[in-house]
Structure formats: C-alpha cells, structure tokens
Chains A and B, each alone.
Chain A
Amino acid sequence: MGKKFIDVAAHFDTDGKIIPVMFWWDDGKSYRIDRVLDIRRSASLKAGGTGIRYTCRILGKNRYLYYDDYTTKWFVEIPDDFYSTW
C-alpha cells in the first residue's frame, strides 16, 4: 500500500470541526463526498502516518480519507500497483 496526498475542499464549522466535501485526483477529476460516516483518530499502517480518519461514502463505496494534523495534509491509501492497473 502506498500513500497519496490529495487536494481537498472542506467545510470548517463554527465549532472548529472539519468535514471534507470534495477532493481532486491527479487526473484533474473531482469527486464529491456523499456522506461522512465516521470520524476518528487512527494510524494508517498501510500508508504510514497518523491523523484524523474520515470514513467517506464516495460513488457508492466506503473509502478512508486521512487528515494528518502534523503536516496538515490530506492523504489516501492506494495499492502499490495502483498506477499500473489504473
């Protein structure tokens, strides 16, 4: 598994809570996050790192989106052969 940093648009509410709304892949396509199902701090042993993990529903599938609060970057876990099968 690898780590891929992505551009994210998020909603910052008045309580300081951050909810991702959509993100951009490196082919320029944007994807809307239909629903955030769970928010918790979690380590990503596959990609390497830790942060706030958002379980998101995107195009009918559940995906993890991480916000690393140390580097303030967003990332996702991708399989090692992701680009060869893409």
Chain B
Amino acid sequence: MERTILHCDCNNFYASVERLYHPELRDRPIAVSGDPELRHGIVLAKSNEAKKLGVKTGHPLWMAKQLCPDIVFVKPHYDLYTHFSQLARNIYSEYTDRVEPYGQDECWLDMTGTAKLLGDGKHIADTIRNRIKSELGITISAGVSFNKVFAKLGSDYKKPDATTVIPFDGFREFVWPLPVSNLIFVGGATTKVLERKCIRTIGELANTDRSTVKSWLGKCGETLWLYANGYDSSQVAKDGEQPTIKSIGNSTTLSRDLVGYDEIKITLMVLSESVAARLRRHNMQCETVQIGIRGTNLSWIERQGRLPIPGCDSTTIYLKALELLVQNYQQGKPVRSLGVRACNLSARQYIQTSFMPSVHRTQRYEKIEDVIDKLRFRFGNKIVQRGIMLSDTGLSTLDPQADHPNLILSSVHTQR
C-alpha cells in the first residue's frame, strides 16, 4: 500500500515566535541572535525580510547589520520555543500516533490509511497548517509524499505557509530536476564531491550506477542513491518513542579567550561534570572521550581517546579530556571555544567487578558522584563544588545544562 507521509516545518521558527510576542516588529526585518557581550553574537534565526537581503543563520551580527541596516536583533527565549514546539506536536498527535520530531521545528507524520477518516494527505496538511496558524500564530510549510525523504523535500520546496504534494506517480518529473543539494543529508562537502563527478541534479544522481555512487561516497552514497530513486522505506517513529542516544556532549564559547592551562582546566571540569551528570541521568557510561577546541582563527579541531574501562564519572572524563588537550593543543595558544563529548555509550546496568585498583577507584568515584547528584537535585548545583571552581568564579559559574537547554538537546546525537 502506498504510504502517506507528511513533513511539517515551522517557518523561521524562532523569529516567528518572537514576532508573535512583539507585534510592533511584525513588518520589520528581525534576527534572533546570541549575546554579543558573551561572544555568542551570531544570527540564530531570521525573518523572511532579512533573508531576502542575504542574512543567513550563523552570520556574525556586524555582517547581518551590513546586509540589512534596518534589522532588529532580539534575544532568544529557548523555553518559549520549546513550549511552542510542544504545542505544535500536540496538534500533530491529534491526527496520528506516528509523529517523529526532527529538531524542534520539524516533524514527520505518518498518515497512511487515514484517507477515509480524515481525507487525503493534502487535505490533512492544509487542515494542520490552518490550525497552527490560527491556534499558535505561526506558519508552517508541509510536504506530502509516499516517503520521508520526499515529504521533507516537499516542505522545503515552497515556503512559507504552503503545502507541496509529491505523488508516487510523477515524482521523477517533480524531484529529479531539483539540485542535488536539496536532498536531505546532502551537505556542502557531498555537493562538492558530486559536482566534481558532474552530478548536479537529483535525477543525475538517481540515474548513476548504484555501485559507482557507493565508490565515491561509501555507504552514505548508496543511501543517497536510494533516496534519489524514491526507495526510502524508513518508518516514522511512534510518538514518545525514545531514540537511542549515540553520544552526549556539551560545548561552550567562552566570554574571553583562555590562554593558560589553569583557566582551561576550570572550563573542562565544568563541561566534564555536565556531561557526566547527563550520562548518569540516562543511566549510561562511555568508553571514549572526545574534545573539541576552537582557537582564535575559528578553526575547530576534534580529538578523541579511549578510557581503560567504561565510566560515567566526571574525574575520569576530565582527566582524559585534559590529556587529549595537552597532547593536541599547543600551550599558550588562546582558546575561544571548548567542547567535551562522551561517545561509545553503553548501558550502566552490567558492571564488571574487579580487584584492579584503577577499576575500583573509578567505581568509587561513580558512587560519590551518584550521591552528589542527589544532593544537587535537592539543594541546587552549588551545594557541592570542587575546589578548582573557586579559583575563578567567572568561569565556573557557566552552567551548560541550564544556559542552553535546547542546544544541549540538540547535542545529544541520536540514532533510531
């Protein structure tokens, strides 16, 4: 049976929500941006007026101002966006139990088999679009197709506030002339590789030999070839289904460049504590620790190393992160951003007991941190602190979990 998949994408999500709450900004170009004083001054989202003048997500504020002198910058309100995202999902859930979020502002809906009850895909998409507009005051664009990839392509095709249908009969005429970069998971690097092979449209990718594409791009290439030919058969996950977490990480751009190891150590400890606490919250442990460092030239390097035994305590993660930093980053070179990530995750339920002192020590640390978690839950984060945090309270007040709840969510890399 032909499936009916919808993809709903909230248009300029952050900017639309901000505009709803600030009617005086309704006809003006706006951008939601981070705090420039904390050096988070980049465009996070922009309105259509700003977009037309060339403002892009990720642009520094001075560049956005140069492109669009009338632009108004507003601060982000992540809690409000999460609230709106939940309200939109509540509406989607009234139509189907298969609602799979893809970020905060996008969702796939599986409407297969509901045509007699609720109408065809386009009718449902239009109904949902109108409801979101009247109930939430923001617009969405919807794509309707027979698989998730083309549904997503449809929602990106026409914006804002529009429905695009890509039917099974005739998808080739619709999809194949489009640029290959419109296909999901085809980013800048893949587009360049394909361009070198003279592949510019989705149709050209689809008509290339499957094994040839695989030889260019590996396993991902084969997946893209399947997508281009309309063979994507992945299911829309059920509402509330928990995805498997692949890695947990936190990163931060610092309010000033850090030069000495003493300052870097404090930030590494804050990040390690946050990552470790989140690992324990998900009842997981990691086998690999990865660090990310951005210098003043804005280049980002990532290095990773394995732990002797899997762990979820901040001391182990911190010591590994510090070891990686010392090995891979020249002392005295200023650091702009730092990130710590726990990878190779496994469930914490089966723990190998051992008489080895190193294993025993790690397990003791974990027990101590379990107690600290309980104390922090009851009395707040500052009830138990490490001595190192008192050496520079400016740096140690950083709370990666509370400052950017959505960024943290997005940094939990997931795989279904």
Contact = CB atoms under 8 A, between A and B. Distances in A.
A42 B130 CA distance: 11
Interface string B128-142: 000001111110000
B21 A49 contact: yes
A73 interface: no
Contact of A48 (B21, B84, B134, B138): B21
Contacts of B84: 50
A40 B134 CA distance: 10
Interface string B321-349: 00000000000000000000000000000
B23 A50 contact: no
A49 B135 contact: no
Given A70-B80, A70-B83, A43 B23 contact: no
A41 B135 contact: yes
B281 interface: no
B134 A46 contact: no
Interface in B12-36: 20-23
A49 B136 CA distance: 8
Contacts of A1: 23
Contacts of B23: 1, 45-48
B24 to A, nearest CB: 8
A74 B279 CA distance: 40
A49 B80 contact: no
Interface residues of A, number: 13
A14 B389 CA distance: 49
Nearest to B131: A41
Contacts of A46: 23
Contacts of B133: 43
B135 A48 contact: no
Given A42-B134, A43-B137, A44-B137, A49 B20 contact: yes
Contacts of B136: 41, 43, 50
A43 B21 contact: no
A70 B136 CA distance: 12
A48 B22 CA distance: 6
A50 B137 contact: yes
B28 to A, nearest CB: 14
Contacts of A44: 137
Nearest to B135: A41
B89 to A, nearest CB: 14
A43 B135 contact: yes
B135 A45 contact: no
Interface string A13-53: 00000000000000000000000000011111111111000
Contacts of A49: 20-21, 137
Contacts of B83: 70
Nearest to B26: A45
Nearest to A53: B135
Contacts of B22: 48
Given A50-B135, A50-B136, A50-B137, A43 B80 contact: no
Interface string B28-51: 000000000000000000000000
17 contacts: A1-B23, A40-B135, A41-B87, A41-B135, A41-B136, A42-B134, A43-B136, A43-B137, A45-B137, A46-B23, A48-B20, A49-B20, A49-B137, A50-B20, A50-B84, A50-B135, A70-B83
Given A50-B135, A50-B136, 11 more contacts: A43-B20, A43-B135, A43-B138, A44-B137, A47-B23, A48-B20, A48-B21, A48-B23, A50-B87, A70-B80, A70-B83
Closest CB pairs A-B (n = 9): A43-B137, A48-B23, A41-B135, A70-B83, A48-B21, A50-B137, A50-B136, A43-B136, A49-B21
